[in-house]
Amino acid sequence: MTPVYVVCLVLAAAPALSNTPNVLEEHRDVQQSITYSRYGHTVRLDTLPAARWDDLAQYLADTTPDVLHFAGRGTPDGGPRFVTDDGGEAPVALDGLRRCITAATVSGLHLLVLNACWTDHLAKEFSGTVPAAIGWQAEAADVHARGYARVFHRNLAAGESVAKAHATARMMLDLAGCASLPTLHTGAGRIPEAHFLIGPEARSAPQRAPLSLRYQQSGTHLRKSRFRPPPPQF
């Protein structure tokens, strides 16, 4: 059975606020990128729309994704912002977030993507726990964050390593003139070039029946003729 790799997309921006990231468009970009990639059939995309902090806690208590992708806004020197019950947003408590991520990593979380402004310091911190973590160094334009998510997940689902998918997405941002770039962090002894979302077990070639050789000429099968000695001469 082909293994399924789970990507959890956390959409945590309050639509009632102005100047918030268009996380619905980011969801569409990521979904299409995965669906139309080479190994997209091996990836399951879970989504937490208008996510509150308790939505994330409950999800991680029931499911361990291979990739946890946060789409929303960040806070300088703080954490990612989640939707509040009154329709606004507020940064999550970092101690609680640390406990959630640590528990998920023990269960099998492989990659954390904080696709929000000012999250580089958190990605660097979490890289000591999660095999790979990505965050933005400063403020990022919504169009650049969405473009990064689109290219990154498309290349991951196409079978590229985390390092190569990240480098390709950053190259796209360079071409777009993006001043702030996301950074990939890994812990000591971990090699991002050898870290894949789609493992070799999902790339196995389908079983096929052995080919039978047939010799044809002008639509007629050629058969070996039996040797017959020439008739005796008198």
Task: Tell me: pLDDT of 103 over 50.
Answer: yes
Strands (E), 63-172: 67-72, 81-83, 89-91, 111-115, 132-136
* Averaged confidence pLDDT in the chain: 85
Task: Tell me: pLDDT of 225 over 80.
Answer: no
More confident residue, 52 or 1: 52
Which residue type sits at 74? G
Instruction: Catalogue all structural domains in the chain, each as residue range(s) with its CATH number.
Output: 5-202 (3.40.50.1460)
Question: How much of the chain, in percent, has pLDDT values that exceed 70?
Answer: 83
Q: What is the pLDDT of residue 232?
A: 58
Q: Is the pTM of this model over 0.85?
A: no
Q: What is the pLDDT of residue 234?
A: 46
Of the pLDDT bands very low, low, confident and very high (cuts 50, 70, 90), residue 36 is: very high
62-101 tens-digit pLDDT = 999 999 999 998 988 888 999 998 888 899 999 999 999 9
C-alpha dist (Å) from residue 145 to 5, 87, 180, 221: 23, 23, 10, 62
Instruction: Name 139's Cβ contacts closer than 8 Å, sequence gap at least 6.
Output: 117, 118, 180
Q: What is the pLDDT of residue 165?
A: 96
Q: What is the pLDDT of residue 2?
A: 66
Q: What is the pLDDT of residue 35?
A: 94
Q: What is the pLDDT of residue 149?
A: 96
170-201 tens-digit pLDDT = 999 999 999 889 999 998 888 888 888 887 87
CB distance 5 to 42 below 8 Å? yes
Q: What is the pLDDT of residue 223?
A: 47
Of the pLDDT bands very low, low, confident and very high (cuts 50, 70, 90), residue 222 is: very low
144-169 burial string, b = 16+ CB within 10 Å, else e?
A: bbbbbbbbbbbbbbbbbbbbbbbbeb
Of the pLDDT bands very low, low, confident and very high (cuts 50, 70, 90), residue 115 is: very high
CA-atom Rg of the chain in angstroms: 26
More confident residue, 142 or 2: 142
| Neighbour count for residue 24 (Cβ, 10 Å) | 14
CA distance 4 to 23: 24
CB distance 80 to 96 below 8 Å? no
CB distance 110 to 131 below 8 Å? yes
